[in-house]
């Protein structure tokens, strides 16, 4: 395999990298920020209204776009479903809730599900989830937040002397400021970081779905996921490193604080360290989580989303040295526990969950994994 470099700018400085057998051979990587100029960005604050009365009709006081259902750690909600009341007082069909169990390593894992409210919905009812925390979210009518920084950054990986891998070698990210992250949610009342960053060498890449039908405003969908994780589940941040919408737009997730999304600093293949997120409890350290916005239980992601996912995974593999064709022995850096796993995995490969959806999971090897591998060979 030819050498690859990673950069976020037009200038590349290469250096020799060390590798283990599970990593791509003969790769180097560096990074320099390439971004659009800073802009005056704004986004509405997410408004939330909580309830705990499962089994009864809940009518929020304000208009709402999404309903989230969060379970206490260890609780079960098999067969849980939700339905909406429309403006004419009619109740819609029951929708199964697909719960996602995740969380930071320092907290108990928790399960949550989200459902998109139809336009004009006046109420909702949840069954089969006694004691759950129910929250209606309004994603558009809150006060405007002023957000500083750049709207987009670009990350790219290229073989020496070649402008692309097999396909694109550049991934453009909508930054946290670009999609409207309310950074105040990361801190307590005294200004302490609720989820201080930890970094570990990258061992694996894992794919997820949000299990929620998207709205027409995907930046708002991002704010809904962020609010669920950071505020409602009290993690202090979103649990994924990167997210992708149906149009193929890629979003920066978990705050890294290092100037480079996902990583501590300029990533060097075989030595790259990612910030620990909360997408695969027990296997979060050194495991980069990429999540598709949408529910792929019964249908596949759009072609644009699949193409973007392949591009993201190719760049991440080139950057980190993780070989998507290999099985690895994942080693938990705190406990030393070893787990055999695919280097490029689905959430369900690590834990008992439907994620990233039954339909998508069945097609994953050919639709995603093989395309990523082919682009790196």
- Residue 231 within any structural domain of the chain: yes
- Higher-confidence residue of 110 and 227: namely 227
In 10 A of CB 217, how many CB atoms? 14
315, 327, 344: which is closest to 206 by C-alpha?
344
Where residue 368 sits, what CATH number does that domain have? Answer: 3.40.80.10
* Backbone phi and psi for residue 223, each to the nearest 5 degrees, phi listed first: -65, -30
Over residues 220-252, the pLDDT tens digits come to 999 999 999 999 999 999 999 999 999 999 999
Q: Are residues 79 and 180 in the same domain?
A: no
pLDDT band with cut points at 50, 70 and 90 for residue 52 = confident
What pLDDT was estimated at residue 77?
A: 77
* Together in a domain, 184 and 252: yes
How far is the CA of 247 from the CAs of 201, 308, 337, in angstroms?
A: 31, 9, 39
In the chain, what percentage of residues exceed pLDDT 70?
A: 86
Higher pLDDT, 16 or 117: 117
Tell me, what's the pLDDT at 155?
80
Give the DSSP per-residue string, 291-360: EESS--SSSPPPHHHHHHHHHHHHHHHHHH-B-TTSEEEEE-TTT--EEEEESEEEHHHHSSS-TT-HHH
The pair of structure tokens assigned to 237 is: 């941040």
| Same domain, yes or no: 161 and 251 | yes
pLDDT for residue 270 = 84
Q: Do 189 and 282 fall within a single domain?
A: yes
| Neighbouring C-alpha atoms within 13 Å toward the C-beta of 145 | 22
Task: Mark whether 201 and 343 lie in a shared domain.
Answer: yes
What local confidence, expressed as pLDDT, does residue 36 receive? 60
Q: Are residues 296 and 170 in the same domain?
A: yes
Residue 296 has a pLDDT of: 97
Query: What is the extent of the structural domain holding 81?
Result: 47-138
Sheet strands side by side (includes 66-70): 47-51, 133-138, 66-70, 110-116, 100-102
Cα distances (Å, whole numbers) of residue 269 to 163, 170, 281, 321: 19, 17, 25, 5
- pLDDT at residue 168 in the model: 56
| Whether residues 25 and 68 fall in one domain | no
95-118 as b/e: b if 16+ CB within 10 A: bebbbbbbbbbeeebbbbbbbbbe
18: in domain:
yes
Label residue 268 by pLDDT band (50, 70, 90): confident
Other Cβ atoms less than 10 A from the Cβ of 76: the count is: 11
Pairwise CA distance, residues 32 & 7, whole Å: 6
Q: Of 138, 163, 191, at which residue does a domain stop? A: 138
User: Considering the domain boundaries, does residue 280 fall inside one?
Assistant: yes
pTM across the whole model: 0.89
Q: Flag whether 143 is in a domain.
A: no
Residue 154 CA to residue 134 CA, distance in Å, equals 37
Domain boundary residue, one of 106, 138, 170: 138
Assigned domain for 144 exists: no
Instruction: With a cut of 90, say whether residue 305 has pLDDT above it.
Output: yes
Q: Which residue has the higher pLDDT, 163 or 91?
A: 91
Q: How many domains does the chain have?
A: 2
Say which residue the tokens 């100029």 belong to.
37
Asked whether residue 205 carries a pLDDT value surpassing 90, the answer given is yes
- Write down the residue that tokens 């408004």 correspond to: 47
Average pLDDT (15-39) is 42
157 plus 110 within the same structural domain: no
Stronger pLDDT, 154 or 229, i.e. the higher one = 229
3-state secondary structure at position 171 = strand
The pLDDT confidence band at residue 125, using thresholds 50, 70 and 90, is: very high
Per-residue model confidence (pLDDT) at position 28: 41
Alpha helix (H) residue ranges in the chain:
176-179, 218-227, 303-320, 347-350, 358-364, 370-376
Q: Final residue of a domain: which of 115, 138, 161? A: 138
| 298 & 238 share domain | yes
Residue 158's pLDDT is what? 59
Contact by Cβ (8 Å): 71, 112: yes
Whether 103 maps to a domain, the answer reads: yes
Write down the pLDDT at residue 54. Answer: 74
- pLDDT, one tens digit per residue, over 311-336 is 999 999 998 999 999 999 999 999 99
Q: Are residues 329 and 344 in the same domain?
A: yes
Which pLDDT score is estimated for 8? 41
10 assigned to some structural domain: yes
234 and 300 share a domain? yes
Model confidence at 37, in pLDDT bands (50, 70, 90)? Answer: low
What is the distance between the alpha carbons of residues 235 and 217, in angstroms, rounded to a whole number? 24
Residue 257 banded pLDDT, cuts 50, 70, 90: confident
Note whether residue 171 is domain-resident. Answer: yes
Task: Assess whether 26 and 102 both reside in one domain.
Answer: no
Cβ(309)–Cβ(241) below 8 Å: no
């Amino acid at each position: 395999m030819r050498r690859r470099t990673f950069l976020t700018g037009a200038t590349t400085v290469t250096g020799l990298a060390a590798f283990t057998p599970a990593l791509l051979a003969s790769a180097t990587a560096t990074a320099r920020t390439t971004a659009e100029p800073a802009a005056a960005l704004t986004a509405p604050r997410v408004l939330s209204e909580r309830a705990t009365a499962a089994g009864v009709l809940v009518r929020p006081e304000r208009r709402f776009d999404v309903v989230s259902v969060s379970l206490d750690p260890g609780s079960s909600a098999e067969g849980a479903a939700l339905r909406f009341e429309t403006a004419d007082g009619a109740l819609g069909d029951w929708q199964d809730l697909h719960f996602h169990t995740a969380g930071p390593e320092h907290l108990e894992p928790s399960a949550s599900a989200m459902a998109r409210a139809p336009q004009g919905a006046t109420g909702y009812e949840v069954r089969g989830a006694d004691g759950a925390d129910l929250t209606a979210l309004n994603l558009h009518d809150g006060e405007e937040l002023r957000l500083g920084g750049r709207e987009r950054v670009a990350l790219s990986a290229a073989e020496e002397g070649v402008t692309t891998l097999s396909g694109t070698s550049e991934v453009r990210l909508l930054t946290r400021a670009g999609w409207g992250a309310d950074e105040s949610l990361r801190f307590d009342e005294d200004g302490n970081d609720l989820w201080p960053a930890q970094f570990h060498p990258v061992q694996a890449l894992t794919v997820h779905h949000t299990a929620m039908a998207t709205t027409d405003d995907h930046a708002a969908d991002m704010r809904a996921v962020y609010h669920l994780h950071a505020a409602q589940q009290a993690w202090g941040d979103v649990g994924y490193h990167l997210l992708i919408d149906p149009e193929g737009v890629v979003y920066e997730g978990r705050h890294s604080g290092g100037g480079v999304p996902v990583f501590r600093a300029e990533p060097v293949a075989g030595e790259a360290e990612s910030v620990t997120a909360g997408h695969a409890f027990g296997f979060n350290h050194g495991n980069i989580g990429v999540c598709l916005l949408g529910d792929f239980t019964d249908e596949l992601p759009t072609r644009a989303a699949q193409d973007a996912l392949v591009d993201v995974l190719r760049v991440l593999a080139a950057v980190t040295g993780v070989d998507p064709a290999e099985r690895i022995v994942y080693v938990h850096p705190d406990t030393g526990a070893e787990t055999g796993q695919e280097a490029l995995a689905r959430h369900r490969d690590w834990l008992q969950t439907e994620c990233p959806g039954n339909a998508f999971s069945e097609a994953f090897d050919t639709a995603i994994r093989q395309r990523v591998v082919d682009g790196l060979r």
